[in-house]
């Protein structure tokens, strides 16, 4: 239940779950977040590894005892193992940056903000603080407009500076990458076009005069006639 939540909001979820329990309910929760693990009355840890290497209960007890358990989860809960932070690329005054000035959309209080370039920047904060407004409603549309891409009007701000450093802007969110269930990463980036061309020059394809289009799994004669290329059959259950 905790996916994507700020630690403060996590606490609210935990409180809600405790209220449900205190009202006499039984809760079984699948969870990775330590705040929720530690709030449990009982912790069942599965492992030791994924797939073939898993399938066992490696710990079953209180969260406190789990901290000392000889399992991967126990090692992290007991702070004997730590998540690596990777290689940090420091930001200093000479780091090129993208600057948004006078941001005022929705609840944003007329501030300036800069995003160092060639770095990983995280925007965080409690729910409703303005993250989506800043990134999705102001920054992204302002960038897309600069690159002449179709976009909604950018949220209220005075200026976007430093955009000459950039060659392009791509907004990646949780929405599906293609309009159809048939698209996949290879077709989305165009890699499958090249693969189809290779198929089309194979000796048997040449002998049968198959063109690259024949090797599309989305359209024409090349796709599976039964599923229409979707990889599964949709059966309407209307009686
Ligand atoms: N379309 C809108 N019109 C008016 N106010 C809005 C609109 N969208 C968001 N707001 C307000 O702007 C403020 C910031 O909301 P925003 O969605 O940017 O927060 P957030 O940090 O992304 O929150 P969350 O973590 O829940 O996604 C909130 O007070 C919200 O009610
Ligand atoms: Mg948001």
Are 229 and 191 in contact by the 8 Å Cβ rule? The answer is no
Is the beta carbon of 55 within 6 A of some atom in ligand 1? no
Query: Where are the domains positioned within the chain?
Result: 7-77, 97-165, 185-222
SS3 content of the chain, % helix, strand, coil (to 5): 35, 10, 55
DSSP letter at 102? Answer: E
**Separation of alpha carbons 176 and 164, rounded Å:** 30
Residue nearest to atom 5 of ligand 1 (CA): 106
Is the beta carbon of 114 within 6 A of some atom in ligand 1? no
Instruction: Give SS3 for 160.
Output: strand
**Separation of alpha carbons 198 and 210, rounded Å:** 11
> How large a percentage of the chain has pLDDT more than 70?
96
Ligand nearest to the CA of residue 5, numbered in listed order? 1
Is the beta carbon of 130 within 6 A of some atom in ligand 1? yes
Please state, in angstroms and as integers, the Cα–Cα distance from residue 127 to each residue in 6, 7, 23, 123, following that order: 7, 10, 27, 12
Average pLDDT over residues 120-143: 95
Q: What is the pLDDT of residues 182-213, one digit of tens each?
A: 778 888 888 999 999 999 999 999 999 999 98
**Separation of alpha carbons 145 and 178, rounded Å:** 22
Distance from the CA of 34 to the center of ligand 2, in angstroms? 23
Specify the residue for token string 């000392």: 68
With the most atoms of ligand 1 within 8 angstroms of its CB, the residue from 10, 133, 154 to mutate is 133
Q: What is the pLDDT of residues 69-108, one digit of tens each?
A: 999 999 999 999 998 877 888 999 999 999 999 999 999 9
Residue 5's pLDDT band, with cuts at 50, 70 and 90, is confident
Is the beta carbon of 104 within 6 A of some atom in ligand 1? no
Q: What is the pLDDT of residue 186?
A: 86
Q: Return the structure tokens found at 93.
A: 């005054």
Q: What is the pLDDT of residue 109?
A: 98
Shortest CA distance to 218 belongs to which of 175, 186, 170, 172?
186
């Amino acid at each position: 239940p905790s996916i994507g939540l700020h630690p403060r909001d996590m606490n609210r979820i935990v409180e809600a779950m405790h209220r449900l329990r205190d009202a006499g309910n039984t809760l079984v929760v699948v969870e990775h977040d330590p705040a929720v693990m530690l709030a449990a009355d009982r912790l069942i840890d599965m492992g030791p590894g994924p797939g073939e290497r898993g399938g066992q209960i490696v710990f079953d007890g209180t969260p406190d005892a789990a901290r000392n358990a000889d399992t991967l989860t126990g090692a992290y809960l007991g702070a004997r193992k730590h998540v690596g932070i990777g290689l940090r690329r420091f930001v200093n005054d000479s780091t090129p940056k993208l600057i948004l000035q006078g941001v005022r959309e929705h609840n944003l209080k007329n501030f300036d903000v800069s995003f160092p370039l060639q770095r990983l920047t995280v925007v965080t904060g409690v729910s409703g603080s303005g993250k989506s407004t800043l990134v999705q409603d102001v920054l992204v549309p302002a960038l897309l407009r600069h690159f002449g891409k179709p976009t909604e009007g950018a949220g209220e701000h005075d200026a976007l500076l430093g955009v000459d450093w950039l060659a392009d802007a791509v907004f990646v969110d949780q929405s599906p990458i293609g309009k159809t269930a048939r698209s996949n990463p290879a077709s989305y980036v165009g890699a499958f076009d090249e693969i189809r061309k290779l198929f089309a020059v194979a000796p048997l394809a040449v002998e049968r005069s198959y063109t690259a289009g024949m090797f599309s799994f989305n359209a024409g004669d090349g796709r599976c006639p039964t599923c229409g290329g979707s990889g599964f059959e949709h059966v309407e259950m209307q009686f």
